[in-house]
Amino acid sequence: MKTRDLVRTAVAGTFRNRLRTSLTALAIVIGAFTLALTLAVNNGLNSYIDDTVATVGSEDTLTVTKPAGEVEGDIVRYDPDAPTVGGIGSSGSVLLGASSGQTELLTTDDLDTLRSLDGVERVHTVRPVRVDYLQLEDAPEADRWKLSLSPGIPGVRFPLAAGTQPDLDSDEPQILLPRDYVKILGLDSADDLAGRTLLLGVTDPTGTQETLTATVVGVTDPVLTFSTPAATPSVALAEAIYDIQARGLPDEQKNRWALAAVTVTTEQGTPVADSVAAVQERLDETGFQGRTIDDILGQFRAFFDAILLMLIGFAAITLLAGSLGIINTLLMSVQERTREIGLLKALGLTSRRVFTLFSLEAVTIGVLSATIGITTPVALAPWVNQVLAEGPLADLPGLQLISFTPTLIAAVAAVIIGIAFTAGTLPAIRAASKDPIDALRHE
Amino acid sequence: MTSADLITVSNVTKTYGEGSSAFTALRGVDLSIARGESLAIVGKSGSGKSTLMHVMALLDTPSTGTITLDGTDTTRLSASRVARTRNDTFGFVFQQFFLIAGASVLDNVALPLSIAGVSRKERERKALAALERLDMADKARNRATDLSGGQKQRVVIARALINDPEVIFADEPTGNLDTATGQAVEDTLFTLNREQGITLVIVTHDPDLAAHCDRAVTIADGRVVADERRAA
């Protein structure tokens, strides 16, 4: 029998009992729907992380910290002999992997070591700074708010609601504020906050509080991170804060940095990732810890991946149940059509072709289910994305939660059809092994 | 045994099952069928006549002994070769018709050609020609299940004819038909035998049908007990 005729016969066979086929397909449709939607959401989240947190040219940058002792996993073993950090707290952000307590501040010697390291092109330093409060220049004293600081790293670009990216090298004291401060400071929109002058309270080692001014250059949109919203000061502002914080301390204690951002020398012909990995290894050997933006984002991705895996698990369970449905339906069909199978074999259809015929019936159910189960979420995605963007996800502009790509659609379709084919194997073997005589005698 | 013999059955036995539940349907059958002959296999139910037809038609394999078709020992053929032989050398007419429900008369008649991999256009042409010979061309687009018994059996004969077979195996071809219709089907079969030289092997317990054949072989308890030729 020609393949085209086999397909036609199989499709006709599948639709002979429409209700049964539809119900069987429905179970697979639900599985296909869940799987397609889960992968599309994962795709949407990952593109969002890439687009917003990412980073132009920052793949050649490593954030370097110094673990305060022997590292096991991500935790540092306590070492009583390790130099303690007096007076100055380290205030990196969780996002940049420099949480206080587990890292040691960097010294002048450390920076020299980093600068001399093979493959390091540039070292950008970040002071351990902390402010007591922020306040709008013309606001009453009651309107003071706490503020976390997160260092600016060359190459990292923030998603902006208003204003511009900070110029890290500017002499002006600039600061980037999270959008959360708009309402708290009694303003209507991010545009109102951009360009305003802030007063920042900083305490020196003797406990005397001083005030610094800084210009809000930009207002950031929230990023999908689990850290508290943090502001990013320009280098000039950070130095000004640090000057107060470390005033009067001996040089040995004063010349300290929270972390350094190391730009890796890239060479023509060598993948950037390889150069970065080489430097990362050298850092490790010299007692530092260097992390790329990808390493850090990896933690967030791991979280989403865990949720994704769970959802895929649900889809898998549905598909398992659905494939049992296919097996059941086709076994019934084989049983009912025993005489027809016998006739086909008596008239010279080979067992192999009978197997193909029933496998194709399973595949037909798979194709039908995949078509409905995938086109439905694809068709609904733009609408759902719009509703979400205007509602629950309004705070995350640019997030297309459900994002389909042709590859994703093809992959899901292939999985569904593959599952259907596999489920059809048992009934198809049953059909192929029927003896024409017994089959023709069958009542 | 002469060179004109199309099918030769040599010392064929057939046993179903094993041990105490074993049932022997054929106990050493020798039989030669000449090309163009019409042969009736008669006997009571359970005599083994259907089993004999099944092994000759290569629907079943003998436990011992050989079936020679046109000089070829069929027990040595591969499964796919046997399937192809059934498809292009034999035609089958069954008592219960075995038409595919829901498919058109035309598609039912064309089924052997479809299995053989003939193009749709060609098999429709041949199927229509076969139906015309049986005066059934006007029913080509009907559903096979909507026909009367006699019409169904003519469709089945058209299906058996479509491959220009050398042999038509008919298992109680008139068993489910009334006398007049049965007579018409019988006439059709013998006309094919006479005019196209198609060998007929008919399993029946109808003595009238057997009497119309060139030769009648009687089976009892799995053995040939009589082999009578009709006087020419």
Q: Which of A343, A347, A433, A443 is the best mutation test for B, with the most CBs of B within 10 A?
A: A347
Query: Within this chain, do residues A282 and A418 fall inside the same structural domain, yes or no?
Result: no
pLDDT confidence tier of residue A102, bands split at 50, 70 and 90: low
Contacts of B102 in chain A (CB under 8 A): 12, 16
Q: Does A74 lie in the same domain as A38?
A: no
Which chain A residues contact residue B109 at CB under 8 A?
none
A72 with A221, same domain?
A: yes
Best mutation target among B54, B60, B115 (most A Cβ atoms within 10 Å) is B115
Q: What is the DSSP string of B79-143?
A: HHHHHHHHHHHEEEEETT--PPTTSBHHHHHHHHHHHHT--HHHHHHHHHHHHHHTT-GGGTTSB
Tally of CB atoms within 10 A around A5 = 19
Which fold, B36-60+79-229?
Answer: Rossmann fold (3.40.50)
ipTM over 0.85: yes
Task: Give the tens place of pLDDT for each residue, A302-313.
Answer: 887 888 889 889
Mean pLDDT to the nearest integer, A412-419: 96
The Cα–Cα gap between B12 and B6 comes to: 16
Contact A344 B115 (CB under 8 A): yes
Contact A343 B100 (CB under 8 A): yes
Residues A190 and A314 in one domain: no
Token pair listed for B101? 């429900």
- How many whole angstroms separate alpha carbon A97 and alpha carbon A296? 7
User: What percent of chain A clears pLDDT 90, i.e. is strictly above it?
Assistant: 30
Which one has a higher pLDDT value, A183 or A395?
A183
Q: Across residues B74-89, what is the average pLDDT?
A: 92
CB contact B220 to A (< 8 Å): no
pLDDT in tens, B1-52: 445 689 999 999 999 888 888 889 999 999 999 999 999 999 988 888 989 9
Place of tokens 């305490």: A203
Q: Give the domain range for residue A184.
A: 58-292
Is the pLDDT confidence value at B201 over 70? yes
The rounded distance, in Å, linking the Cα atoms of B183 and B191 is: 12
pLDDT tens profile B136-174: 889 889 998 888 888 898 899 999 999 999 999 999 888
CA distance A346 to chain B (A): 6
Q: How far apart are CA A141 and CA A313, in angstroms?
A: 54
Q: What digits encode the pLDDT tens for the residues B104-114?
A: 999 999 999 99
Residue of chain A minimizing CA distance to B103:
A12
Do A358 and A237 share a structural domain?
no
Q: Are residues A343 and A367 in the same domain?
A: yes
A91/B29: higher pLDDT: B29
pLDDT above 80 (res A386): yes
Last residue of a domain, one of A267, A292, A317: A292
Q: Which residues of A touch B103 (CB under 8 A)?
A: 12
Confidence label for A56 from pLDDT (cuts 50, 70 and 90)? very low
Q: How far is A334 from chain B (nearest CA, A)?
A: 14
Q: Return all residues near A41 (Cβ < 8 A) that are at least 6 apart.
A: A308, A311, A401, A402, A403
**Predicted confidence (pLDDT) at residue A393 exceeds the cutoff of 70:** yes
The whole-number pLDDT of residue A55 equals: 45
Residue of higher predicted confidence among A101 and A70: A70
Q: Which residues of A touch B54 (CB under 8 A)?
A: 437
Using alpha carbons, list the distances in angstroms from residue A13 to A330, A346, A439, B98, B102: 10, 19, 18, 16, 10
* Residue B232 pLDDT exceeds 60: no
Q: What is the DSSP string of B176-231?
A: TS-HHHHHHHHHHHHHHHHHH--EEEEE---HHHHHTSSEEEEEETTEEEEEEEPP
Q: Note the pLDDT of residue A57.
A: 43
- Give the pLDDT score at B118: 92
Residue of A nearest to B165 (CA): A347
Q: Is the CB of A248 inside 8 Å of chain B's CB atoms?
A: no
Chain B residue whose CA is closest to A337? B100
Q: List the single residue in A with minimal CA-CA distance to B119.
A: A2
**Cβ of B120 and A343 within 8 Å?**
no
pLDDT tens by residue, B176-192: 788 888 888 889 899 99
Give A-chain residues touching B88 at CB under 8 angstroms.
Answer: 348
The region of weakest confidence among A126-140, A367-381, A411-425 is A126-140
% of chain A at pLDDT higher than 70: 87
Amino acid identity for residue B195 in this structure: E
**Cβ <8 Å between B102 and A16:** yes
Size of interface A-B (CB pairs under 8 A): 58
Contacts of A436 in chain B (CB under 8 A): 59
Name the more confident of B232 and A350.
Answer: A350
Asked if A351's CB is within 8 angstroms of B79's CB, the reply is yes
Which of A16, A346, A352 is opposite residue B86, by nearest beta carbon? A346
Are A35 and A75 found together in one domain?
Answer: no
Question: What mean pLDDT is predicted for residues A9-22?
Answer: 88
Q: Which of B157, B162, B167 is nearest to B122 (CA)?
A: B162
Residue A332 has pLDDT above 90, yes or no: yes
Q: Which residue of A has its CA nearest to B57?
A: A346
Q: β-strands B167-171, B199-203: how paired? A: parallel
pLDDT given at position A85:
46
Looking at residues A366-393, what average pLDDT do you find?
Answer: 91
- In the prediction, which pLDDT does B3 show? 53
Q: What is the mean pLDDT of residues B117-129?
A: 93
pLDDT category at B231 given cuts 50, 70, 90 is: low
Whether residue B83 and residue A5 make contact (CB cut-off 8 A), yes or no, is no
Assess whether pLDDT exceeds 70 at residue A94: no
Please indicate if any CB of chain B lies within 8 Å of the CB of A339. Answer: yes
Is A345's Cβ below 8 Å from some Cβ in B?
yes
Confidence of residue A223 (pLDDT cuts 50, 70, 90): low
Q: Where are the beta strands (DSSP E) in A78-141?
A: 103-104, 120-126, 133-136
A257-to-A89, A108, A379, B33 alpha-carbon distances in Å: 10, 8, 53, 105
Residue A273 has pLDDT above 60, yes or no: yes
Q: In angstroms, what CA-CA distances link A275 with A114, A121, A144, A282, B230?
A: 15, 11, 46, 11, 99
- The pLDDT assigned to A50 comes to 73
Is A119 within 8 Å of chain B by CB?
Answer: no
Q: In this model, does residue B213 exceed pLDDT 90?
A: yes
Question: Predicted confidence band at A376 (pLDDT cuts at 50, 70, 90)?
Answer: very high
Cross-chain residue pair B94–A339, CB shorter than 8 Å = no
Residue among A343, A350, A440 minimizing CB distance to B80: A350
Q: What is the mean pLDDT of chain A?
A: 83
> For all residues of chain B together, what is the average pLDDT?
89
pLDDT class of B214 with cuts at 50, 70, 90? very high
Contact: A348, B84; criterion CB under 8 Å = yes
Is B83 close to A339, i.e. CB distance below 8 A? no
In this complex, is the C-beta atom of A3 within 8 Å of any C-beta atom belonging to chain B?
Answer: no
The answer to whether the CB atoms of B120 and A5 lie below 8 A apart is yes
**Amino acid identity at B184:** A
Among A292, A320, A336, the domain boundary falls at: A292
More confident residue, A64 or A36: A36
d(CA B181, nearest CA chain A) in Å: 24
Q: For A347, which residue in chain B has the nearest alpha carbon?
A: B87
Q: In the structure, what pLDDT confidence band is assigned to residue A81 with cuts at 50, 70 and 90?
A: low
Best mutation target among B77, B90, B98, B124 (most A Cβ atoms within 10 Å) is B98
- Structure confidence at residue A286 (pLDDT): 85
Closest partner CB to A347 (pick from B60, B101, B112): B112
Cβ–Cβ below 8 Å for B83 and A16: no
Mean pLDDT of the region A337-348: 92
Residue A392 and residue A248 share a domain:
no
Contact flag A437-B116 (C-beta cutoff 8 Å): no
Question: Is B117 within 8 Å of A2 when comparing Cβ atoms?
Answer: yes
Asked if A5 is an interface residue toward chain B (Cβ–Cβ < 8 A), one would say yes
Q: How far is A6 from chain B (nearest CA, A)?
A: 9
Q: Per mean pLDDT, which range of A217-226, B44-53, B63-72 is the poorest?
A: A217-226
Using pLDDT thresholds of 50, 70 and 90, give the confidence band for residue A52: low
Kindly state the average pLDDT of the residues A225-252.
Answer: 82
Res B53: pLDDT: 92
Q: Which of A274, A292, A310 lies at the terminal end of a domain, its last residue?
A: A292
DSSP state of A78: P
Query: How many domains are there within chain A?
Result: 2
